[in-house]
Copies of this chain bind each other. A is one copy, B any other.
Amino acid sequence: MIVTLLHHTDKPEELVLQAMAKCYDRKPTLKSLQAAIKAGHTSLLEHVSFTWELQGISRVVLAQLTRHRIASYTVRSQRYCDEWDTDYYVPPELGPESRDSYLRGIRRSRDCYRKLLGEGVPKELARYVLPQAVHTELVLTMNARELYDVFFPLRLSKRAQPEIRELARHMLVDCCWVAPGIFGEPEDWEGYDE
């Protein structure tokens, strides 16, 4: 999994403070901003957004990701792109025996996909046999409110699946690096289990 931050709002805390000043006609401090966020006034965070390039995530995670409707997605199209050489997710939790079964299953699906392409079946039909573990790539834009209020609480949680938790941790590290005044440090989110 490769998570690359392509773009983010410049000096996010400053912009959010400017917005907050507008609301109350009074210059707030970073401290009062943080108090406002803790008190749930997170609409201010919508002015800040992050754009990532995500590579090497499975279509399983894509399905979980796109359920977040307040975000923008541009996804590698299986209708137009060739998945001949595309890689696959392998859950690290599998024991050695299951791992073998798993890999054999994946290999056979891939071979079947290639065979269908070889027989002239269009990519958009052949892809039906691809396993859900197949990797995809996308560009994702999400605003800081959705990240703070919904995505991180839900996807860093112990109840989330390992693959999307890994993705969420990568994204969190970027957010904390860019906007520590809003997101704090990654450790602040540890043990999070909503």
Taking A51-B15, A112-B102 as contacts, is the C-beta distance between A75 and B7 under 8 angstroms?
A: no
Task: List the B side residues contacting A79 at CB < 8 Å.
Answer: 161
CB distance from A153 to the nearest CB of B (A): 10
When chains A and B are docked, how far (Å) is the Cα of A81 from the Cα of B132?
Answer: 16
Oligomer: number of copies: 4
Taking A108-B109, A109-B108 as contacts, is the C-beta distance between A137 and B22 under 8 angstroms?
A: yes
Interface membership of chain A positions 103-131, coded 1 if the CB is closer than 8 angstroms to chain B and 0 otherwise: 01110110011011001110011011111
Task: List the B side residues contacting A47 at CB < 8 Å.
Answer: 7, 51, 72, 74, 139, 141
For A15, give the chain B residue with the smallest CB separation.
B7
Taking A40-B194, A72-B47, A116-B98 as contacts, is the C-beta distance between A131 and B133 under 8 angstroms?
A: no
Q: Tell me whether A38 is interfacial, beta carbon within 8 Å.
A: no
CB distance from A62 to the nearest CB of B (A): 7
